Amino acid sequence: MLNFTIRRLLLAVPTLLFISLVIFLLLEISPGDPLGDVPLTVPPEVKEKMREALGLGQAWYIRYALWLKQFFWIEPLHWFDQVFGTGYAEGAQRIISFQSRSPVFDVIAQRLPQTLIVVGMSYVIAVLIAIPIGIISAYRQYSWIDQLGTFVSMIGFSMPTFFTGVVMIIVFGVKLQWFPSVYDTTLQVRDWDSFLAQVRQMVMPVTVLALFNAAQISRFMRASMLDNLGQDYVRTARAKGLSERTVVLKHVLRNSLIPVVTVIALGLPTVFGGALITEQVFKINGIGQLLITAIYANDIPMVLTVTFLFAILIVVFTLIADILYGVLDPRIRYD
């Protein structure tokens, strides 16, 4: 297992390097110009100076190498300095956003909590809804509750989140006035009232994302339960007189959770990507919104870094899913 993990970690490095190169080159060959918004009255030699100040003067491979160095060496050093009060990264150039001229990671650190809270909550709730539904619909296969579960989950992942989000805003935000339709990120939780306000504004985005994810996870749960319910060990467990409850909730559930856990791990990065849309709908200024504004503004360092962070998430969670699969299921051996 350790061998496998090390091998996969080593393999992840070229994968990530390649992905970063793809994103970098995509941005490189694009016709967009970060100085496109500069007025035409600015003389060309000044423009050239500005270009150099943005670090755009050099050849692409030098800039790529510089970015790699900044991402993998200077930024971690900087965190290290901040945590331990040392001065290793002093004077080193961090990744700077074209838009705000502030370090990209500082902006990301500001935006990350909003995304993490909403996405994290919604995913936890999705799992909590999906697993019982999956168990019941598999246990009572083809019953009305299974049919209903199938239908609802089909609807759940057929309705795009931007549609469910907008409908929820119309119904609960505008008509019923239960929840605020715009997410207020300046809100700080200090007392009970502000906590309630925070919960109220989180209800709609979390529900939208949770429903969408629960629909998918419950389908996997159901299929996995169905696979296991027909196994011989279930018959054995029943034959030796275990209660139905023990059979289903102990024996079958534990074995069925193995593939579902990996599906959950694999799905998490996609959820972060999908939160892009939800953030746009509910006007949450999280990572997704940051990325979209950066794309509009031709902010190359920001786009590159945020997209690459998404890629890291995917690679890491794929790795976690693979390792979890091996840990949870002793029959699976990677060697």
Partner 1 sequence: MTETDRQRALDTAEQVDATAAAAAVVSGLPPDDPVHAGGETRSQWRDVWRQFRSHKGAMVALVLFVGVLLFVSVGPYLWTIDPTYVDIRARNSGFSAAHPLGTDQLGRDMLARLMAGGRVSIAVGLTAMIIAVTLGSFIGLVSGYFRRLDAPLMRLTELFLALPLLPLLLLMVTLFREPLSQNFGPAMGIFILIVSAIGATSWMQAARIVRGDVLGLKEREFILAAKSIGTPPRRMILRHILPNVLSPIMVAATLGIATAIITESALSFLGLGFPPDFPTWGRLLFDAVDQMVLYPSRVILPGVLISLTVLCVNYIGDGLRDAMDPRIRGR
Cβ proximity to partner 1, 67 vs 78, nearer residue: 67
Q: What is the dihedral of CA 35, 37, 41, 42, to 10 degrees?
A: -30
Cβ proximity to partner 1, 33 vs 52, nearer residue: 33
Cβ proximity to partner 1, 126 vs 290, nearer residue: 290
Contacting residues toward partner 1, per CB under 8 A: 15-16, 18-19, 22-23, 26-27, 30-32, 150-151, 154-155, 157-160, 162-163, 166-167, 169-170, 174, 269, 273-274, 276-277, 280, 291-292, 295-296, 303, 306-307, 310-311, 313-315, 318
Nearest to 20 by CA among 63, 83, 57, 80: 63
Cβ proximity to partner 1, 185 vs 318, nearer residue: 318
Supply the minimum distance, in Å, between the C-beta of residue 316 and partner 1: 10
Cβ proximity to partner 1, 161 vs 256, nearer residue: 161
Between CA 30 and CA 70 the distance in angstroms is 22
Supply the minimum distance, in Å, between the C-beta of residue 133 and partner 1: 17
Supply the minimum distance, in Å, between the C-beta of residue 91 and partner 1: 32
Judge residue 228's burial from the number of C-beta atoms within 10 Å of its C-beta, 0-12 exposed, 13-18 middle, 19 or more buried: buried
Supply the minimum distance, in Å, between the C-beta of residue 12 and partner 1: 9
Inter-residue contact 145 to 136 (CB < 8 Å): yes
CA atoms within 13 A on the CB side of 32: 14
Nearest to 252 by CA among 218, 228, 226, 217: 228
Cβ proximity to partner 1, 237 vs 306, nearer residue: 306
Q: Which residues contact 253 (CB under 8 A, 6 or more apart)?
A: 135, 225
Inter-residue contact 226 to 179 (CB < 8 Å): no
Between CA 246 and CA 251 the distance in angstroms is 7
Supply the minimum distance, in Å, between the C-beta of residue 197 and partner 1: 22
Supply the minimum distance, in Å, between the C-beta of residue 126 and partner 1: 18
